[in-house]
C-alpha cells in the first residue's frame, strides 16, 4: 500500500464564515467522520501541520495583502467581500491551510510519502494576489506551485483544477509563466466569470493555461473524455515534475452551488487518471488539495472514493469507451484553440 499523507487540523474547524454560509466547518467534520467510519484514518499518515510563513505566502500574494489578512487575527467578523469573511481564527486557519500544502509537498519530495491529500479550509483557488474572494483567503495550490518552482527547483508543475468554479486566482498568478501549467474544467458562464476558452496565457505563458468551459449538466462520461482527449496529451507533452490537483467536489450531482452531474465513482475515476498520469510522467509526485464541495453527504462519500484510489484500495477504470458525450463540441473547440501549442 502506498504511503498517503493527509493534513487535518482543528483550526480548519475553527474558521467560521457565519450562520448559513455554505463553506462551513461541517465540511471538515464530515471528512473526519468518513476517516473514522471507514478506518482509513489508521491507514494514512497524518502529517504534523505547520503554518506557511509570510515569505512563502508572498511567493504569490502581495505583502500588503498578507498583512491585511493578518490584521484580522483575533478580531470579530471582517467582511472582505460579499461572501468572504474572517473570524478570529481565520488568519491562522488560512496560514495552516497553505502550510498543509507545503508540508505535503516536502514529505513527498523527501520520500516520506508517496502522495498526499490535505483536507483544509478555507479553500484557495479564487484568492487573487491582492484580494480575497469566493470563500478563499490564501491561494493554497498556488503557494504550493510557486514553492515547488521557486524554492524546490522543480522545472514544471501542472495544476489540474476540477472544481465546478474556475480558479481565477490560480490562473492569474501564473498566466505569464511556463513553469506552471494551469488546466481547468469548470461550469461556464458561472462564478467568477473567468475561464473562457480563449484565455490561454500571455507572453512566456502563452499556451500554458488550458480552460475547458462547460455547460451545466456534465457528468462522469464528459469529464473522463475531457481528461482522456485533452488533459492526457497536455500532460504527456508538458512532462511535469509535480502534479497538484485542486480537488473541488462541487461538481457532485446534488451539490447546492453547482449544476454538474459527477458521481462519487466519477471522482474516483478522475483521481485514478491523475494518479496514473503522475506515475507515468512526474515520478509519482502528486498531491490533491481540498477546494469546494458543499453537499456534506456528497463530500463524505466522494472524498472516501478518492482516498481509496490514493491508497490503492481499489483501481477504478477510466476508459471512456469512445462514445459520444455532451462535451464533444467543447472538446473539439479546445483542441482547435490549443492546436498551435501542442498535438492532440
Dump pLDDT digits (tens) for 102-155.
999 999 999 999 999 999 999 999 999 999 999 999 999 999 999 999 999 999
CB neighbours (10 Å) of residue 193?
A: 11
Q: Could you tell me how far CA 322 lies from the centroid of its own chain?
A: 27
Res 110: pLDDT: 98
Res 104: pLDDT: 98
Residue 321 pLDDT class (50, 70, 90 cuts): confident
Domains in the chain (CATH in brackets) are 4-338 (3.40.800.20)
Number of alpha carbons in the 13 Å side-chain half-sphere of residue 50: 13
For 156-213, how does the pLDDT look when each residue is reduced to its tens digit (9 = 90+)?
Answer: 999 999 999 999 999 999 999 999 999 999 999 999 999 999 999 999 999 999 999 9
pTM: 0.98
Task: List the catalytic residues.
Answer: 126
Instruction: Determine contact, residues 280/238, Cβ cutoff 8 Å.
Output: no
Q: Which of helix, strand or coil describes residue 132? A: coil
If residue 187 lies in a helix (H) or strand (E), which one and from where to where? strand 180-187
User: How many Å is the maximal CA-CA distance in the chain?
Assistant: 55
Q: What is the DSSP letter of 227?
A: I
For 167-180, how does the pLDDT look when each residue is reduced to its tens digit (9 = 90+)?
Answer: 999 999 999 999 99
Amino acid at each position: 500500500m502506498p504511503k498517503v499523507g493527509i493534513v487535518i487540523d482543528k483550526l480548519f474547524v475553527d474558521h467560521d464564515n457565519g450562520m448559513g454560509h455554505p463553506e462551513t466547518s461541517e465540511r471538515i467534520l464530515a471528512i473526519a467522520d468518513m476517516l473514522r467510519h471507514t478506518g482509513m484514518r489508521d491507514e494514512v499518515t497524518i502529517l504534523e501541520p505547520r503554518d506557511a510563513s509570510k515569505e512563502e505566502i508572498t511567493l504569490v500574494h502581495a505583502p500588503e495583502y498578507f498583512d491585511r489578512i493578518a490584521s484580522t487575527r483575533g478580531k470579530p467578523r471582517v467582511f472582505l467581500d460579499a461572501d468572504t469573511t474572517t473570524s478570529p481564527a481565520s488568519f491562522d486557519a488560512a496560514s495552516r491551510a497553505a502550510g498543509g500544502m507545503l508540508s505535503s509537498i516536502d514529505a513527498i519530495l523527501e520520500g516520506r510519502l508517496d502522495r498526499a491529500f490535505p483536507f483544509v479550509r478555507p479553500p484557495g483557488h479564487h484568492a487573487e494576489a491582492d484580494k480575497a474572494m469566493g470563500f478563499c483567503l490564501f491561494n493554497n495550490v498556488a503557494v504550493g506551485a510557486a514553492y515547488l518552482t521557486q524554492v524546490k527547483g522543480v522545472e514544471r508543475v501542472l495544476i489540474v483544477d476540477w472544481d465546478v468554479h474556475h480558479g481565477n486566482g490560480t490562473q492569474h498568478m501564473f498566466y505569464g509563466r511556463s513553469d506552471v501549467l494551469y488546466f481547468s474544467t469548470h461550469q461556464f458562464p458561472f462564478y467568477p466569470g473567468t475561464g473562457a476558452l480563449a484565455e490561454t496565457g500571455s507572453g512566456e505563458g502563452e499556451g500554458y493555461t488550458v480552460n475547458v468551459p462547460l455547460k451545466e449538466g456534465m457528468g462522469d462520461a464528459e469529464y473522463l473524455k475531457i481528461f482522456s482527449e485533452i488533459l492526457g496529451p497536455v500532460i504527456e507533452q508538458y512532462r511535469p515534475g509535480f502534479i497538484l490537483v485542486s480537488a473541488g467536489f462541487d461538481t457532485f450531482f446534488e451539490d447546492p452551488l453547482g449544476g454538474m452531474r459527477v458521481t462519487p465513482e466519477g471522482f474516483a475515476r478522475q483521481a485514478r487518471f491523475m494518479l496514473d498520469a503522475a506515475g507515468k510522467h512526474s515520478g509519482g509526485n502528486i498531491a490533491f488539495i481540498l477546494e469546494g464541495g458543499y453537499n456534506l453527504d456528497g463530500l463524505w462519500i466522494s472524498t472516501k472514493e478518492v482516498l481509496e484510489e490514493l491508497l490503492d484500495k481499489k483501481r477504478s477504470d477510466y476508459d471512456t469507451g469512445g462514445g459520444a458525450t455532451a462535451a464533444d463540441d467543447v472538446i473539439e473547440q479546445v483542441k482547435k484553440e490549443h492546436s498551435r501549442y501542442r498535438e492532440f
